[in-house]
Amino acid sequence: MTDETLTRFKSELDSFFVLVLLNMVFGALAMAFGMQFIIASVLGLAGGQSTPALRILAGSISLVGFGLGLSWVLSSAKILKGINAIRREFRSCPAPVTGEVLTGWILQMTAHYRQNKKAIGLMTRICTLGGCVFLALGIINLIGAVAVWGSPAGILVASLFFITTAINLTIGIASLRFSSYFRRYSRAWDNRIDEVSQNEKALHNFMERG
């Protein structure tokens, strides 16, 4: 049983590590692009663009995106710290891994989930919200691209809008995907925590007997 359990444990540990790491990268990207779009919107306003209302809207949403990106990175860093400690211990352990060592790691993961349940829940919501914000930005920039398409500024400005749209949509879709992965991870661990609670009765009875 230990070998199969070990394989499953390793796979889950690696998957979650990659998810949190990628999530952190996208959080940083969201922050960076949020800031960039704020500046671009302000510069666009100062330059007397033909669609100031659209620029103000894009600037406001970018500000929200920047704030979300910041909390996104901070939450990811908190979760990553705990998971990285378990992963380091796992990688430095010489084979063969005994059942007790494996159980110790499972216990650490369980304790990590209990401790970070709220942060993971927050992460899920931030990803969903961040995804929606960047999708909205993408749509606004797409409208901007269409609006300037026929203007004297021509194809160059429209192309820049299209590139921005592509970046926004990529971050938005990735964020929504991440939020669904976080939900799946939480579901798996909530089931495990329930199972632990149900088995506490058996452990209690065992402890108390004779």
Partner 1 sequence: MGGRRTEFEIYWEILVFCKSPRSFTAIINRCDLNSKTGQEYLEFLRSKGYLSLTKDGERSTWVATGRAHEYIALFTEIYQKLFDTIPGFKL
CB of 147 to partner 1, least distance (A): 39
67 versus 104: smaller Cβ distance to partner 1: 104
Q: Is 3 exposed, middle or buried (0-12, 13-18, 19+ CB in 10 A)?
A: exposed
Tell me if 23 sits within 8 A of 77, measured CB to CB.
no
CB of 55 to partner 1, least distance (A): 38
CB of 138 to partner 1, least distance (A): 24
Residue given tokens 């199969």 in the structure block: 4
Judged by the rule CB under 8 A, the positions of this chain that interact with partner 1 are: 1-2, 4-5, 8-9, 11-12, 15-16, 18-19, 82, 99-100, 102-104, 106-108, 110-112, 114-115, 181, 184-185, 188-189, 191-192, 195-196, 199-200, 202-204, 206-208
- Of 107, 109, 77, 150, nearest to 11 (Cα)? 109
Structure tokens at 161: 């809008």
User: Which SS3 state, helix, strand or coil, does residue 175 take?
Assistant: helix
Amino acid (1-letter code) at residue 96: P
CB of 124 to partner 1, least distance (A): 13
Specify the DSSP element, H or E, that contains 84. helix 52-92
CB of 201 to partner 1, least distance (A): 10
9 versus 37: smaller Cβ distance to partner 1: 9
81 versus 125: smaller Cβ distance to partner 1: 81
102 versus 148: smaller Cβ distance to partner 1: 102
| Backbone φ and ψ of 51, nearest 5° | -125, 65
